[in-house]
Amino acid sequence: MSGLDSFRMDGKVALVTGAAGGLGSAIARALADAGASLALSDIDADGARRAAEEIRRRGGRAEHFHHDVTSEQDWHQVIAACGATLGGLDVLVNNAGIETSGLLTEFALVDLQRLQSVNVEAALLGCKHAARLMSVKEGGRGGVIINISSAAALGGAVGMSAYGATKGALRAFSRHAAVELARLGTGIRVNSIYPGFIGTAMGLNNLDEMVALGVQPDREAAEAVILGMQLLPERGEPRDVAAGVLYLASDASRWVTGTELVIDGGLTAA
Ligand X SMILES: NC(=O)c1ccc[n+]([C@@H]2O[C@H](COP(=O)([O-])OP(=O)(O)OC[C@H]3O[C@@H](n4cnc5c(N)ncnc54)[C@H](O)[C@@H]3O)[C@@H](O)[C@H]2O)c1
Of the two residues 35 and 71, which places its CB atom closer to ligand X in the complex? 71
CA distance 83 to 36: 14
Tell me which of 60, 159, 195, 265 binds ligand X, using CB under 6 A: 195
Residues between 3 and 22 that touch ligand X (CB under 6 A): 17-18, 20-22
Q: Give yes or no for residue 251 binding ligand X (CB under 6 A).
A: no
Q: Give yes or no for residue 97 binding ligand X (CB under 6 A).
A: yes
- Which alpha helices (H) appear in 101-218, and where do they start and end? 109-116, 122-134, 161-183, 201-212
Residue 95: closest CA among 14, 172, 32: 14
Tell me which of 9, 13, 16, 23 binds ligand X, using CB under 6 A: 23
Of the two residues 122 and 178, which places its CB atom closer to ligand X in the complex? 122
Q: Give yes or no for residue 159 binding ligand X (CB under 6 A).
A: no
114's CB contacts (< 8 A; 6+ apart) are 98, 100
CB of 217 to ligand X, least distance (A): 21
Q: x/- contact string, 114-153, with ligand X (CB under 6 A)?
A: ----x-----------------------------x-x---
Q: Give yes or no for residue 99 binding ligand X (CB under 6 A).
A: yes
Q: Give yes or no for residue 202 binding ligand X (CB under 6 A).
A: yes
Instruction: Name 64's bridge partners.
Output: 40
Q: Give yes or no for residue 70 binding ligand X (CB under 6 A).
A: yes
Q: Give yes or no for residue 54 binding ligand X (CB under 6 A).
A: no
How, if at all, do strands 37-42 and 13-17 pair? Answer: parallel
163 is catalytic: yes
Window of 39-47, 56-64, 77-85, 251-259 that interacts with ligand X by CB under 6 A: 39-47
How, if at all, do strands 61-66 and 91-94 pair? Answer: unpaired
Q: Give yes or no for residue 232 binding ligand X (CB under 6 A).
A: no
- Tell me if residue 168 falls in helix, strand or coil: helix
Window of 4-12, 93-101, 181-189, 224-232 that interacts with ligand X by CB under 6 A: 93-101
Give the dihedral sign, CA 71/76/77/82.
positive
Q: Which residues in 75-99 are b (16+ Cβ under 10 Å) and which e?
A: bebbbebbeeebebbbbbbbbbbbb
Q: Give yes or no for residue 77 binding ligand X (CB under 6 A).
A: no
Of residues 7, 65, 163, 173, which has the active-site annotation? 163
- Tell me if residue 13 falls in helix, strand or coil: strand
Query: Can you point out the beta strands (E) in the chain?
Result: 13-17, 37-42, 61-66, 91-94, 143-148, 188-195, 260-263
Residues that bind ligand X (CB under 6 A): 17-18, 20-24, 42-44, 47, 67-70, 95-99, 118, 148, 150, 195, 197-198, 200-203
**Residues classed as catalytic:** 163
